[in-house]
Structure 1
Amino acid sequence: MNRRVVITGIGVRTPGANGTKEFLDLLTAGRTATRRISFFDPSAYRSRVAGEVDFAPEHEGLSPLEVRRMDRAAQLAVVCAGEAVADSGLEFEDFDPTRVGVSLGSAVASATSLEQEYLVLSDSGRNWLVDHTNLSPHMFDYLVPSAMPAEVAWTVGAEGPVTMVSNGCTSGIDSVGHGCQLIREGSADVVLAGASDTPITPIVVACFDAIKATTPNNDDPEHASRPFDRTRTGFVLAEGAAVFVLEEHERARRRGARVYAEISGYATRCNAYHMTGLKTDGRELAEAVTVALDEARIDPTAIDYINAHGSGTKQNDRHETAAYKRSLGEHARRTPISSIKSMVGHSLGAIGSIEIAACALAMVNDVVPPTANLRVPDPECDLDYVPLTARQKRLDSVLTVGSGFGGFQSAMVLRRTGGSR
């Protein structure tokens, strides 16, 4: 069994955007949403900028008990899932709940609440011994990443396969890829798939400070994320979430659903090389792209746009450039490419799903989002990285990729379908 899978609903929360309309407006305007960290005093840190989501859970319909029980990442996931379901027009009570699945991704899961609890119990680290009787009754939910997809499953009554995918920065692509596989193999008819991460906490910021992966460009937060630019100094940490309703194509067609795009190809590889290092030839990412194209049954020349990983580190940007040349050949030089991390930062495990949302919306509106802040191109990144301004272009087939610590390399192909839009 190899059934076709389409996206019929989208829910998204990113820096500078609550919902798909605001997200599309931000992307097409090339507007940046990175700023100085406001969640805590960042003065002691090397990198003091981030992409923060203006998110008020009580205004999003979550009850005080839900806000108390769920970590911020889970709150974002649940809100995005509800928005995606409403967008899809699905009535979940109309069909077998055992045919509904959930596949969510996250790199650091409930890091926010775990750190907050530690700070409370230890008096901000002053006490080595802590009193466990003061521990939050919801600590287990914070500790176990599977609590997040469970919360989403409870929201819609999903009783089918429920999974948590944590592959670092490719989690948001891999979770959607896994959700597609559940439908293709016949294990589910509908899957809520996506990712959420809220890593803007002192310990996570300190971790990236230690390896100098994040930018020290603190004087100009709005322009600190500069993928493919010769003056870039590292990525901007961010938070966010995106969740999709994935459906089997024929079922979606029969109910007259609006279809954003078909997910026609997906692949993931690991370089088995280094936790943070990348080989310069881009071979593993190129392999993932090639396999995804083969699964989609399209030639590399059919790709109309590439949504790059584009983290804004020299190592990644040059690795990606080599991977596109290796997998697409000369067509790589004719294909517009851009990184939306220039606008919303890098939300670790969530960004892959956020970028899938960007691709789906770009296809519906036939627009290529720009790479904001790209003013001084790196001569070693000599492809069409669409600087500063969005570009109108018919998009029938789009490639989105992700690259993560641990050597993970993932690629996904989205295609326009004949369904209603």
Structure 2
Amino acid sequence: MTRRVVITGIGVRAPGGSGKKEFWDLLTSGRTATRTISFFDPGAFRSRVAAECAFDPAQEGLTPRQVRRMDRATQLAVAAADEAVNDSGLRFDAVPPHRVGVSLGSAVAAATSLEEEYLVLSDSGREWLVDHDHLSPHMFDYLTPGAAAGELAWAVGAEGPVTLVSDGCTSGLDAVGHACELIREGTADVMVAGASDTPITPIVVACFDAIKATTPRNDDPEHASRPFDRTRNGFVLAEGAAVFVLEELEHARRRGARVYVEVTGYATRLNAHHMTGLKPDGREMAEAIRVALDESRVDPTAVDYVNAHGSGTKQNDRHETAAFKRSLGEHARRTPISSIKSMVGHSLGAIGSIELAACALAVEHNVVPPTANLHEPDPECDLDYVPLTAREARVDTVLSVGSGFGGFQSAVVLRRPSAVRW
């Protein structure tokens, strides 16, 4: 008998709000959370806009000791996980701890704390010979990406498989996909899974400046992220986290849990082509979509909504458009597609999970979030990218895709439980 996986809890810490409800309100209103960077003086940089979270660790219930120990990305993950656990109604102390696991995604892990500690250690770069006594005693936690997954495991008492997945910008999809596979194979009954990234630091901003991947539209930050628009010129960097409680379906049924969606399909592929370049035909993304749909046992015509990667770079948006046509055929022209990065920016490894949260909420509310700032559609991106305004529609099956530097291409299919007949 095939073990099936459902989402029973959702927690979100994203730009423009704190929590799942504020996140959904932002998306459905079409408002944007992109602003001029406030975390540091961005004056020296080519791109000076970002989507920052209004996050207060003390208000989230984190103690001063936790704040000192945890990098900002870990803090966001723990806060989102706490919301997801409460949302699920699951008593973790009633589940055998070795049947509970964690799968967390992150692209740049503790980049915030690593940069801060380097500045302290080197006296803002002035010293080559440094004294390690100036370092935080928690430096090892910042250096080791798995520390964030460990914090989540401690928070919920998970003694099963605990993993940190880092596949660039597909990490948030891949972490959830990995968690589902562990449940399906019988290794775990419950997984706390999602992703978190806080890359709004000078060194990360400089890295994307160097390759001109981020937008230089600094005079109009609220409208700087323009996926699929003819005038798009790069993505807007962001931070955030989303975490889910995933359960084996019968485990959730036995306790009478509310189920948001079933995760019915997942696949990932690599283009083995270029670190940042994408082939124009979208073949690898299309292949990931095909396999995820096959695993879901649904025809492409069953897809009601596609949550696009939609980064707002010229290359990515053309690549995705080709991939949707290749994988969905003529149905691609009838399917609403949108990019929430137009509103909450691109939080690197975290965004895949944040987008999955949006997909699950789209199923719950039968609403497709819009692509903000899409005023002049690119003729090469000639599909229905739901411009400006949210759209009411029956949403039973959702496809969410991600594309990451290094050539990673991933796809996840979510379905309304009542629509699944296996």
Same fold, TM exceeding 0.5? yes
Q: Counterpart amino acid of 2:49?
A: V
Distance 1:250 1:157 in 2: 21
Q: Counterpart amino acid of 2:151?
A: E
2:170 is aligned to 170
* CA deviation map 1:332-357 (0-9, x unaligned): 00000000000000000000000000
Q: How does 1:253-272 map to 2 (within 5 A)?
A: 253-272=253-272
Q: Counterpart amino acid of 2:147?
A: A
* CA deviation map 1:109-156 (0-9, x unaligned): 000000000001111111111111111100000000000000000001
Question: Displacement, 1:2?
Answer: 3.1
After TM superposition, what 4+ stretches of structure 1 lie above 2 angstroms from structure 2? none
* CA deviation map 1:191-231 (0-9, x unaligned): 00000000000000000000000000000000000000000
1:133 is aligned to 133
Q: Counterpart amino acid of 1:30?
A: G
2:41 is aligned to 41
Q: Counterpart amino acid of 1:224?
A: A
Is the counterpart of residue 242 in structure 1 residue 242 in structure 2?
yes
Distance 2:406 2:31 in 1: 31
Q: Counterpart amino acid of 2:306?
A: I
Distance 2:221 2:109 in 1: 25
Gaps of 5+ in 2: none
Q: Counterpart amino acid of 1:347?
A: S
Distance 2:73 2:375 in 1: 34
Distance 1:364 1:158 in 2: 28
1:290 is aligned to 290
Question: Displacement, 1:418?
Answer: 3.0
- How many percent of aligned residue pairs carry the same amino acid? 80
Q: How does 1:12-411 map to 2 (within 5 A)?
A: 12-411=12-411
Distance 1:133 1:22 in 2: 42
Distance 1:415 1:224 in 2: 32
TM-score, normalised with respect to structure 2: 0.99
* CA deviation map 1:368-402 (0-9, x unaligned): 00000000000000000000000000101000000
Gaps of 5+ in 1: none
Distance 1:213 1:333 in 2: 28
Distance 2:20 2:118 in 1: 35
Question: Displacement, 1:95?
Answer: 1.8
* CA deviation map 1:164-193 (0-9, x unaligned): 000000000000000000100000000000
Distance 2:43 2:37 in 1: 9
Distance 1:3 1:177 in 2: 14
TM-score, normalised with respect to structure 1: 0.99
Distance 1:134 1:32 in 2: 40
Aligned-partner SS, 1:317? helix
Distance 2:21 2:79 in 1: 16
Q: Counterpart amino acid of 1:198?
A: T
Distance 1:374 1:355 in 2: 18
Q: Counterpart amino acid of 2:403?
A: S
Q: Counterpart amino acid of 1:119?
A: L
Q: Counterpart amino acid of 1:181?
A: E
* CA deviation map 1:296-342 (0-9, x unaligned): 00000000000000000010000000000000000000000000000
Distance 1:17 1:301 in 2: 34
Distance 1:396 1:246 in 2: 19
Distance 2:13 2:93 in 1: 26
